[in-house]
Structure 1
Amino acid sequence: MTITGKSAAEIFDSIRLQVQTGKLPPGAALPPVRDLAAALEVNRNTVAAAYKRLTATGLARAQGRLGTTIADQNAPGEQEGQNFDSPLADLASGNPNPDWLPDPTRLLARDDYRPRLYGEPTVSDALEALARRWFDSDCPAGYRIDMTHGAVDAIERLVAVHLVTGDGVAVEDPCFLGTINALRLAGMHAIGVETDAEGMRPESLERVLSAGAQAVLITPRAQNPTGCSLSAARADALRAVLAKFPNVLAIADDHFALLADAPYASVIPASTWRWALIRSMSKALGPDLRVAFVASDTATSDRLRARLAPGMTWVSHLLQDIVGACLTSPEVATIIGEAKAQYTRRRNELADALRSRNIPVPPLADGFNVWLPVEMDATALAHSLARRGWLVRSAQAFAVHTPIHAIRITVSALKDGEADRLAADVRRCLDGG
């Protein structure tokens, strides 16, 4: 490895070329700033600026005292989803229970279908009217409705149209896997905000925004992985913080809207210039219906529509027709209601079983998962549970900055009567058994 250059740009280009040619493979350590500055006979700030640009563009990773290393450009990061090859009871997937999803093919026989052509509106009139009835009470006046291919797709598109490579995005810590991966692949820098049982802590968010973060992503209810939902008081406090930073892009990812027990509490102040509220269909209608509604201010909508224009990547009107049919079907409404009750019952059943064995579980949980903070190493606990037949997710996959000692248990795959046996096994593992 021979790094050359006298300016930050030249040093950056020298390292980038060696990454592209394979001379600097993923994981390779770059020289300490002091050493490289001495070797090149330049100021240390020059090398530091080059390294900062490398990390901002995703070519390198800054690891504090461990130095700066070359990042793996092809690594997708840890993913959600079912492990079909595992013999274990899969409580790690983050999936809905397929038995509680509607069958949209039963709704496809329609007399009014017509092919849609280039130049059509990106959102069907019927679906937009339905969405507005859903969003009107939760959005600032003058908003628009757009569609994306799910919540993560919406997040990736929103940051792409408003931010530049290397910008900081404030997220909950711990944070959803899909969000972490989407921001990393978009070249953004996820900055963790401390959370508790009511969601983001306002003082932590204000520190991050004061330090220069250009966007904030908040999950108002059923936060993944913790399951926490914003109380009305916490939402008010976060909205007051955001009002101090009207230029910051504010995104509310209400991904669990159709199934949530908690009421929606808005965090978007009227003074915010750039904002979006996302509601996905994937949790209630199934991951294959990757459609999300995005309500936003008009400038954000204009930018989204430029990327979703007909002839490029607009959401299929056939998918929109299916979603519209599902959301207006009394049969599907009954299925969603029953699924919501089942997820609530499974969460409560497992939480009660854990508490009965003196294992504390955070309150205010919602969603598919039970979040279990522990004092021991979470990875070791996950391995111990695997030996007893349970596949769970260690919290390290969700950590943005600091290590987190917890496991996430997806309850949708729990069968009747299994919660008590799982809780007993967790207790034995915590006791060293």
Structure 2
Amino acid sequence: MATQYSISGTTAKGIAASVERGVTEGELAPGDALPPVRRLADELGVSPGTVATAYKELRQRGLVVTRGRGGTVVAEAPSVASRRPPRVPEGLVDLAGGHPDPAFLPVLRPPAEVRPVYGSHRAAPRLPALEELARAWFARDGVPAERVTFAHGALDCVARLLSTELRPGDAVAVEDPGFHHLLDLVPALGLRMVPVAVDREGMTPDALRAALRAGVRAVLCSPRGQSPTGACFTPERRDELVALLREFPEVLVVEDDHNAEISGVASVSLATAGLERWAQVRTVSKHLGIDLRWAGVAGDPVTLARHDGRMLMTSGWVSHVLQETVAGLLSDPGVTRLVAAGEAAYAERRRALIDALGAYGIRSTGPSGLSVWVPVRDESAVVNGLRTQGWWVAAGARFRIAAPTAVRITTATLPPADARRLASDFAAVLGDAQATYGG
């Protein structure tokens, strides 16, 4: 428990504000425990109900989480303060970030000339040329594309979709393990996460059935290139999930197809199944450049109308300069060839590591996308052991809710020859961990 910071306040709002101030200023760090309700109530001279109300507000706003007997602790990614990914130690090979290889990203060429306009773009927020390209992109994979809209990236879109559909306290089904930024975002919106187990074919039917029966109002999933496991829907799994979802037509289904162009597998999507409430989000940061904060969204008329209505009241539109840049890249044959080469290289590198680990009897999964997910008994032992060998990989804890322990290795920049060396070092680390920790 953090002992340096003294929580103050005589009302629920005051106590919550004091905790928030401690988090913002760094006095309360992620994972720090807050005092038990009754003890803090005694220290502040208030009722336990006042402290419990403050903690509830903090939970709803994504600042703290409750871990059963572990008490209430500061969230790993609290919804205040400025947190940045940890710096990669000097001299290590970075395989933790989930980023694409810059060699397969095109040089960005914004429009050479941007004429000033009178007023704003609220009346025409989408460039017709990019709108047509987006429609063709979705339609290529059978996703209904009569209506599309734009957002400032996948997380921006998901946040807006959830905030227009749900209210604080509502439940959302999320993949477990899943994309860590989404796992941070959902509680930050005041929503409850219901974890749904994932295997190599995506969400498992039994787990989704349980979440739907528990009353979730939205489902967030990835059809392919799932982060962190690389899971991808098969036609059989898609059909099983659709059959379940049709029993709950009011539930909003949001697919995040952020790896659409470089996943290495064909599209198998829930969005093609005629669901009543749905949206599919596609971004370009993984295959065109991380600075292109643009997303295309296809969906049912109600969902898109609510999204656009909220967007018009806030940011209004995605920059037309950005839209022109994206349109130019999407219509450039040379860029298309470069992206295709990247997709092939990513598939080769992913398979090379899986095969190399398999040669040492190490089980891993990565059927699509940019990374490989490796189950391990002790994440810290493996991460620290590989660090001593010159590798920087991601502990699975940041991606998990109730899923078993593992590490994620980004293979996007890992040549096959280096994959064999990494596998050898991995096997050695596991041997050391078994000797030290008993397996």
Q: Taking structure 2 as the reference length, what is the TM-score of the superposition?
A: 0.84
Moved over 6 A (4+): 1-4, 33-37, 39-42, 46-50
* Alpha carbons of structure 1 residues 422 and 35: separation in structure 2 relative to 1, 3 Å: closer
Q: Which position in structure 1 is the counterpart of 2:4?
A: none
> Could you tell me how far 1:131 is from its partner in structure 2?
1.6
Once residues 259 and 148 of structure 2 are traced to their aligned partners in structure 1, the CA distance between those partners, rounded to angstroms, is: 18
> Could you tell me how far 1:84 is from its partner in structure 2?
5.5
Percent sequence identity over aligned pairs: 37
Q: What does the per-residue CA deviation read over 1:16-51, in whole Å, with 9 as the maximum and x for residues that have no partner?
A: 3543676997445343579969x9789x8x987775
CA RMSD of aligned residues (A): 3.2
Q: Which position in structure 2 is the counterpart of 1:394?
A: 395
* Alpha carbons of structure 1 residues 297 and 305: separation in structure 2 relative to 1, 3 Å: same
Which ranges in structure 1 are unaligned for 5 or more consecutive residues?
Answer: 5-10
> Could you tell me how far 1:420 is from its partner in structure 2?
0.9
Q: What does the per-residue CA deviation read over 1:164-217, in whole Å, with 9 as the maximum and x for residues that have no partner?
A: 223222111011122122223323233211111111011111211222222110
Q: Which position in structure 1 is the counterpart of 2:69?
A: 65
* Structure 2 letter corresponding to 1:182: L
SS in 2 for 1:359: coil
User: How many pairs are equivalent?
Assistant: 416
Higher mean C-alpha displacement, 204-213 vs 48-57 = 48-57
> Could you tell me how far 1:56 is from its partner in structure 2?
2.3
Once residues 181 and 246 of structure 1 are traced to their aligned partners in structure 2, the CA distance between those partners, rounded to angstroms, is: 27
> Could you tell me how far 1:417 is from its partner in structure 2?
1.7
Higher mean C-alpha displacement, 62-71 vs 321-330 = 62-71
> Could you tell me how far 1:272 is from its partner in structure 2?
4.3
> Could you tell me how far 1:115 is from its partner in structure 2?
4.7
Once residues 151 and 286 of structure 1 are traced to their aligned partners in structure 2, the CA distance between those partners, rounded to angstroms, is: 14
Once residues 21 and 420 of structure 2 are traced to their aligned partners in structure 1, the CA distance between those partners, rounded to angstroms, is: 55
The answer as to whether partners of 2:96 and 2:410 remain within 8 angstroms in 1 is yes
Q: Which position in structure 2 is the counterpart of 1:236?
A: 239
Which ranges in structure 2 are unaligned for 5 or more consecutive residues?
Answer: 1-6, 434-439
Q: Which position in structure 2 is the counterpart of 1:303?
A: 306
Once residues 12 and 143 of structure 1 are traced to their aligned partners in structure 2, the CA distance between those partners, rounded to angstroms, is: 48
Q: What does the per-residue CA deviation read over 1:86-141, in whole Å, with 9 as the maximum and x for residues that have no partner?
A: 31011111110001111132x7468xx75555144111111111221222366776
* Alpha carbons of structure 1 residues 35 and 346: separation in structure 2 relative to 1, 3 Å: closer
* Alpha carbons of structure 1 residues 139 and 277: separation in structure 2 relative to 1, 3 Å: farther
* Structure 2 letter corresponding to 1:321: E
SS in 2 for 1:346: helix
> Could you tell me how far 1:12 is from its partner in structure 2?
4.0
Q: Which position in structure 1 is the counterpart of 2:103?
A: 99
* Alpha carbons of structure 1 residues 17 and 125: separation in structure 2 relative to 1, 3 Å: closer
Q: Which position in structure 2 is the counterpart of 1:431?
A: 431
User: Does residue 77 of structure 2 align to residue 74 of structure 1?
Assistant: no
> Could you tell me how far 1:300 is from its partner in structure 2?
2.0
* Structure 1 letter corresponding to 2:267: Y
* Structure 2 letter corresponding to 1:371: W
* Alpha carbons of structure 1 residues 328 and 270: separation in structure 2 relative to 1, 3 Å: same
User: Does residue 368 of structure 2 align to residue 366 of structure 1?
Assistant: yes
* Alpha carbons of structure 1 residues 194 and 77: separation in structure 2 relative to 1, 3 Å: farther
* Structure 1 letter corresponding to 2:212: L
Once residues 35 and 327 of structure 1 are traced to their aligned partners in structure 2, the CA distance between those partners, rounded to angstroms, is: 57
Once residues 314 and 188 of structure 2 are traced to their aligned partners in structure 1, the CA distance between those partners, rounded to angstroms, is: 25
User: Does residue 381 of structure 2 align to residue 380 of structure 1?
Assistant: yes
SS in 2 for 1:136: helix
Once residues 41 and 104 of structure 1 are traced to their aligned partners in structure 2, the CA distance between those partners, rounded to angstroms, is: 59
Once residues 140 and 101 of structure 1 are traced to their aligned partners in structure 2, the CA distance between those partners, rounded to angstroms, is: 26
* Alpha carbons of structure 1 residues 270 and 422: separation in structure 2 relative to 1, 3 Å: closer
Equivalent residues in 2 for 1:187-202, closer than 5 Å: 187-202=190-205
The answer as to whether partners of 1:12 and 1:54 remain within 8 angstroms in 2 is no
> Could you tell me how far 1:342 is from its partner in structure 2?
0.6
* Structure 1 letter corresponding to 2:282: R
Q: Which position in structure 2 is the counterpart of 1:415?
A: 415
Q: Taking structure 1 as the reference length, what is the TM-score of the superposition?
A: 0.85
The answer as to whether partners of 1:254 and 1:279 remain within 8 angstroms in 2 is yes
Q: Which position in structure 2 is the counterpart of 1:161?
A: 164
The answer as to whether partners of 1:16 and 1:59 remain within 8 angstroms in 2 is no
Pick from 86, 90, 102 the counterpart of residue 86 of structure 1.
90
The answer as to whether partners of 1:243 and 1:271 remain within 8 angstroms in 2 is no
Q: What does the per-residue CA deviation read over 1:302-331, in whole Å, with 9 as the maximum and x for residues that have no partner?
A: 222233339834111121111111111111
The answer as to whether partners of 1:275 and 1:300 remain within 8 angstroms in 2 is yes
* Alpha carbons of structure 1 residues 155 and 210: separation in structure 2 relative to 1, 3 Å: same
> Could you tell me how far 1:77 is from its partner in structure 2?
6.1
* Alpha carbons of structure 1 residues 34 and 194: separation in structure 2 relative to 1, 3 Å: farther
Once residues 108 and 46 of structure 2 are traced to their aligned partners in structure 1, the CA distance between those partners, rounded to angstroms, is: 64
User: Does residue 264 of structure 2 align to residue 261 of structure 1?
Assistant: yes
Q: What does the per-residue CA deviation read over 1:275-295, in whole Å, with 9 as the maximum and x for residues that have no partner?
A: 210011011101011211011
Higher mean C-alpha displacement, 50-59 vs 295-304 = 50-59
Once residues 39 and 331 of structure 2 are traced to their aligned partners in structure 1, the CA distance between those partners, rounded to angstroms, is: 64
Once residues 125 and 157 of structure 1 are traced to their aligned partners in structure 2, the CA distance between those partners, rounded to angstroms, is: 23
Equivalent residues in 2 for 1:9-408, closer than 5 Å: 12-13=12-13, 15-16=15-16, 18-19=18-19, 26=28, 27=32, 29-32=34-37, 51-69=55-73, 73-75=79-81, 79=85, 83=87, 86-105=90-109, 108=111, 114-115=115-116, 118-119=120-121, 120-136=123-139, 143-268=146-271, 272-309=275-312, 312-362=315-365, 365-374=367-376, 376-399=377-400, 401-402=401-402, 404-408=404-408
Once residues 297 and 206 of structure 1 are traced to their aligned partners in structure 2, the CA distance between those partners, rounded to angstroms, is: 23
